């Protein structure tokens, strides 16, 4: 068989966004690859068109894989997300179509927990507000209450969503900063994990009422849509801070902007937004919010590990029939 015939026999995959060249090179050893080095943002129609005849797609969390796309791409067998979150996948439709979904868990846990804590500290200690003030040339003298914020050490840390990242934040708070940690989750952790994280399970209302700093780390789904809206914000302490590193849509951003303006809560730190990369215009005009562009997992080693894991899922499934982190393993039994 000549090299051209061998290339023709390789499964075909699409890489939907620009990614690390070394990961593309690894995939090219196994697949006929179309990549996107210019990082063009394809429409749904363009994505569907580019997937014709392809068995796999490397996605990065923003590409929507739904029933309509699946019906139009009958050769597709696997969608490998370079993200732990997978709310861009309609998993039920993928399972019905016999298409495997994979995500990239674990490799980003500690990095994302680091960022959650960094955002919490920047928010509580008003770092962004203070920096803007300084850059604008307003710093002319000391004042007893200048940018006085809230303490982190010894405060009560509330965590909504206690998966791997939530547990990482709990450990940082309890062991690094002597915080009292309370959490709410769909299901309570086992006693050993609670003890390891020094975290106590509470109801959602108690979490809202008692937390000095509330961090959101729950997955997005129809049931977590606007889990924090006007009613929930009203239950929080006026001195409390809220940090969202989970997904846009979990917080009602319009209601949050009102709460921040009215000082219903003291401050917020947001890495994710409803309809991102658009940001609710009212959030851009309130001072007491720290805004970052969805970068919680963004360190070079972690992003590289995430990309390798997505690539290894494509290779694992299409070449060896053994994906590493399947989301809908029922497809493997088909
Ligand atoms: C994830 O992995 O879900 C993150 O939000 C992407 O950075």
Taking residues 19-24, report their average pLDDT: 98
Residue 49 has pLDDT above 80, yes or no: yes
Confidence at residue 334, expressed as pLDDT on a 0 to 100 scale: 85
Residue 304 has pLDDT above 90, yes or no: yes
pLDDT score at 316: 98
Query: How many angstroms is it from 225 CA to the middle of ligand 1?
Result: 17
pLDDT (0 to 100) of residue 9 = 83
3-state secondary structure of 96: helix
% of the chain residues with pLDDT over 90: 97
pTM for the whole structure:
0.95
Atom number in ligand 1 closest to CA 296: 7
Average pLDDT score over the chain? 97
Atom 2 of ligand 1, nearest CA residue: 83
Give the model's confidence band at 3: pLDDT under 50 very low, under 70 low, under 90 confident, else very high: low
Nearest CA to ligand 1 atom 1: 83
So what's the pLDDT on residue 328?
98
Q: Tell me which residues are annotated as active site.
A: 247, 276, 294
Ligand 1: nearest atom to the Cα of 306 = 2
DSSP H helices in the chain: 3-9, 21-28, 44-50, 67-72, 91-96, 109-124, 127-135, 164-171, 177, 191-197, 204-210, 230-235, 253-261, 281-285, 300-318
- Is residue 7 pLDDT above 90, yes or no? no
Convert the pLDDT of each residue in 58-71 to its tens digit. 999 999 999 999 99
Residue 281 has pLDDT above 60, yes or no: yes
Overall average pLDDT of the 239-250 stretch: 98
Mean pLDDT of 291-296: 98
Cα 217 to ligand 1 centre (Å): 11
Q: Report residues whose beta carbon is within 6 angstroms of any ligand 1 atom.
A: 61, 83-85, 108, 296-297
- Evaluate if residue 2 carries a pLDDT over 90: no
Give the residue among 269, 268, 228, 235 at the shortest CA–CA distance from 250. 228
Please report the domains of the chain, with CATH numbers, ordered by start residue: 3-107+300-333 (3.40.50.720), 109-291 (3.40.50.720)
């Amino acid at each position: 068989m000549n090299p051209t015939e061998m290339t023709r026999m390789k499964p075909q995959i699409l890489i939907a966004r620009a990614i690390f060249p070394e990961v593309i090179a690894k995939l090219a050893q196994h697949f006929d690859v179309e990549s996107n080095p210019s990082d063009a943002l394809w429409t749904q129609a363009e994505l569907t068109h580019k997937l014709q005849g392809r068995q796999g797609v490397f996605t990065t969390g923003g590409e929507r894989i739904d029933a309509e796309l699946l019906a139009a791409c009958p050769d597709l067998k696997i969608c490998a997300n370079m993200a732990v979150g997978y709310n861009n996948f309609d998993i039920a439709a993928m399972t019905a179509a016999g298409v495997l979904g994979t995500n990239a868990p674990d490799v980003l846990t500690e990095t994302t927990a680091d960022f959650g804590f960094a955002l919490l500290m920047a928010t509580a200690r008003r770092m962004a507000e203070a920096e803007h003030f300084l850059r604008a040339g307003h710093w002319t003298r000391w004042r007893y209450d200048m940018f006085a914020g809230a303490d982190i050490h010894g405060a009560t840390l509330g965590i909504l969503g206690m998966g791997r990242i939530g547990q990482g934040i709990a450990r940082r708070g309890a062991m690094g900063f002597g915080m009292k940690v309370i959490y709410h989750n769909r299901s309570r952790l086992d006693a050993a994990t609670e003890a390891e994280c020094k975290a106590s399970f509470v109801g959602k209302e108690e979490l809202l009422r008692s937390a000095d700093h509330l961090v959101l780390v729950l997955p997005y789904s129809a049931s977590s849509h606007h889990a924090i809206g006007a009613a929930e914000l009203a239950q929080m302490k006026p001195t409390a801070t809220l940090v969202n590193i989970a997904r846009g849509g979990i917080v009602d951003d319009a209601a949050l902007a009102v709460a921040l303006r009215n000082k219903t809560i003291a401050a917020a730190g947001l890495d994710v937004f409803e309809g991102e990369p658009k940001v609710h215009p009212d959030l851009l005009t309130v001072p007491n919010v720290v805004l970052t562009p969805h970068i919680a997992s963004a360190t070079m080693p972690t992003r590289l590990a995430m990309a390798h894991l997505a690539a290894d899922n494509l290779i694992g499934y299409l070449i060896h029939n053994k994906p590493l982190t399947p989301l809908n393993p029922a497809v493997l039994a088909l």
